[in-house]
Structure 1
Amino acid sequence: MKAVVLLLLTSSCSGFFDRKQVVGVKGRLTCNGRPAKGVRVTYHLFDFHHPTAFDDTNDNGAFKLKGRAIKIAGIKPLLKINSNCNNKNVRNRSTLE
């Protein structure tokens, strides 16, 4: 019986301590002054290997992503852009924190 009461107490108290955090990012990618269309943009809130959201840029190079989390501690958003700007000598990844 004590375990059940403790679990109920823990789950009911978590709403008081957790906080909803929302982070969004939007932008427009260009490559040599022209819109970079079809570039994969990935947004991570927790883990670099598990994206929260992703999108491909449109014909104008624009993208818009939004993510949310309910956590006690702060989140550390990470934006990853996979493009080499049509240059094979350039590494195919940009990461922004």
Structure 2
Amino acid sequence: MVIRTFQMHSLPVLLLIVEIVSAGILSEVGRIQSVAVSGRLQCNGKPASDVRVKLYDKEIVLLFHNLTVIYGFCFSLVLDYKMDEGKTDSSGNFYLRGGKREVTNIDPKVNIYHKCNYDGPCVKKLDIVIPDEYITNSKTPQQVFNIGTINLAGTFTGESVDCVN
């Protein structure tokens, strides 16, 4: 019974500590990677100025609970590591770049937070994944992923409402 109590209550905490420590160690062992993204945002065909944009590396942390075969389960927690942020200029243009040290490839994405055709208390959030071929293995990105011109008045798959950003 003592072992079972340890498994149920202490194991998740222990695994979280191991995950944090190993992430810290691996962050010093990995390679430096960087990425850059640019684009132009519009709202109803006009420049969308002062729109918040953020460049993230999507991190997935696996958390385990009760590692017995019969009762065990695992769930993942998605944490985004912010690499850069900014706002669009008066013409709706933006440029972000950032990087980090990681053992595996970074999973870069750009989040766009806007109020185009939306009167709610929060903001609409659009996530755009940056393809792996735009990741550079150095501090300085060698190429820029241009998302082109996006009219935020449209409806996008995966668009959500964000009250925290």
1:5 alignment partner in structure 2: none
- Select the structure that is richer in strand: 2
Q: Decide whether aligned partners of structure 1 residues 49 and 74 sit closer, same or farther in structure 2, where only a CA change above 3 A counts.
A: closer
What is the Cα-based RMSD across aligned positions, in Å?
A: 2.4
* Length-normalised TM-score, structure 1: 0.72
2:67 alignment partner in structure 1: none
- Measure how far apart 1:45 and its partner are: 1.6
Residue 56 of structure 2 corresponds to residue 24 of structure 1: no
Q: Note the residue ranges of structure 1 that are not aligned, 5 or more in a row.
A: 1-9
1:7 alignment partner in structure 2: none
Per-residue CA deviations over 1:20-78 (Å, capped at 9, x if unaligned) read 21110011101111000000001112454442110010000000000112222100002
Matches for 1:24-63 after TM superposition, within 5 Å: 24-47=36-59, 48-63=79-94
Alpha-carbon distance between aligned partners in 2 of 1:21 and 1:59, rounded to the nearest angstrom: 31
Alpha-carbon distance between aligned partners in 2 of 1:51 and 1:19, rounded to the nearest angstrom: 18
Matches for 1:1-97 after TM superposition, within 5 Å: 14=29, 18-47=30-59, 48-88=79-119, 92-97=124-129
Amino acid in the other structure paired with 2:55: Y
Q: Note the residue ranges of structure 2 that are not aligned, 5 or more in a row.
A: 1-24, 60-78, 130-165
Q: Decide whether aligned partners of structure 1 residues 80 and 88 sit closer, same or farther in structure 2, where only a CA change above 3 A counts.
A: same
> Which stretches of structure 1, 4 residues or more, deviate above 3 A after TM superposition?
46-50
Alpha-carbon distance between aligned partners in 2 of 1:84 and 1:53, rounded to the nearest angstrom: 21
* Length-normalised TM-score, structure 2: 0.44
1:4 alignment partner in structure 2: none
With 68-77 and 53-62 compared, the bigger mean Cα shift is at 68-77
Name the count of aligned residue pairs. Answer: 82
With 41-50 and 27-36 compared, the bigger mean Cα shift is at 41-50
Q: Sequence identity of aligned pairs in percent?
A: 31
